[in-house]
A and B are shown apart, each in its own frame.
Chain A
Amino acid sequence: MEQRTPNRKPAGKPGKPSGLVASLLRILKGVRKEFKLVRTDVPNLLLALVVPPLIIILFSSLMTFSSASPVVRVTVVSYDSNTFFDTNSSVITTNDDYTVPLVGAINGTPGIELVAYINASEDPYAMDEAYNQLARGSIDAILVIPVEFSEFLDQGLPGMLESVPNTQDLLKLQTILNKIQEAADLFARDNNLTPFYVDEVHQEHTIPARFNVDFNNNMNIILPFVMVGITLVLTILVVVQEKPVPRLLLTPTNKAEILVSKYVAYTVILLVQSTAVLVASIASGLFIRGQAIDLWGALMAIGFSGVSIGMFISSLAKTKTEANQLFFAFFIILFLVSGIFVPIDGMPAPIRAIAYAFPLAHGAPLIDSITTKGLPLASTELLSLVLISVAFVALSFVAIARRKAEV
Chain B
Amino acid sequence: MNVSALVTKEFQRIAADKRTLVLMFLIPALVLVIFGLSSGGGPTTLFTVNVITRDSQVTGPAVNASVHDETMIEAFQNSTVFVLRDGIYNMTDDASFDICLNQNKNKLKHDDIDAIIVIPANFSEAVENGTSDVTLIVYVDGSDAQVSEAIHVAIQEPVAYFRVYSGLTRNLTTVVPYLEFDVPYWANQVLNYAFPIVISMIMLGTCMNLTSLSIVSEAPLARMLLTPAGKTSVVFSKLVTATAIMFFQAAEIFTIAGLFGMFSRGPLILVFLSLLLIGMVGICIGIFISAVSKTEQVANQLYIMFFIMFTLFCQSFLPVDNFPPFLQAITAVFPLSNAIPLLSSIMYNGVVVDVASFFVLGATGLLFYVLALVAYAFKGVEA
Residues in chain A within 8 A of chain B (CB atoms): 43, 62-63, 65-70, 131, 134-137, 142-143, 153, 156-168, 170-171, 173-175, 177-178, 180-181, 184, 187-188, 193-207, 214, 217-218, 229, 233, 237, 241, 320-322, 324-325, 327-329, 331-333, 335-336, 340-343, 345-351, 354, 365, 368-369, 371-373, 375
Contact = CB atoms under 8 A, between A and B. Distances in A.
Max chain B CB contacts within 10 Å: which of A70, A134, A196, A202?
A202
Contacts of A200: 135-138
Contacts of A163: 175-178
A205 B41 contact: no
Interface in B72-116: 105, 108-111
A153 B159 contact: no
B158 to A, nearest CB: 10
Contacts of A196: 133-134
B308 interface: yes
Given A163-B176, A163-B177, A322 B322 contact: no
B375 interface: no
Contacts of B273: none
B374 interface: no
Contacts of A170: 43, 193
B150 to A, nearest CB: 5
Given A156-B169, A163-B175, A350-B34, A342 B193 contact: yes
Given A158-B169, A188-B173, A204 B140 contact: yes
B198 A336 contact: yes
Given A204-B105, A324-B300, A342-B190, A171 B316 contact: yes
A203 B147 CA distance: 10
B2 interface: no
Interface string B140-184: 111101101111110110011011100011111111111111100
Contacts of B194: 336, 341-342
Nearest to A192: B171
B133 A195 contact: yes
Interface residues on B, range: 35 or more
Interface of B: 19-20, 23, 27, 31, 34-35, 37-45, 105, 108-111, 126-127, 129-143, 145-146, 148-153, 155-156, 159-160, 162-164, 168-182, 190, 193-194, 197-198, 201-202, 205-206, 209, 213, 296-297, 300-301, 303-304, 307-308, 311, 316-319, 321-324, 327, 341, 344-345, 348-351, 354
A156 B170 contact: yes
Nearest to B160: A158
B146 to A, nearest CB: 7
B22 to A, nearest CB: 9
A202 B175 contact: no
B176 A327 contact: no
B142 A203 contact: yes
A208 B108 CA distance: 18
Given A197-B133, A332-B201, 16 more contacts: A135-B351, A137-B349, A157-B170, A158-B173, A168-B341, A168-B344, A180-B175, A193-B173, A197-B134, A201-B140, A321-B19, A321-B20, A321-B213, A325-B20, A325-B23, A341-B317
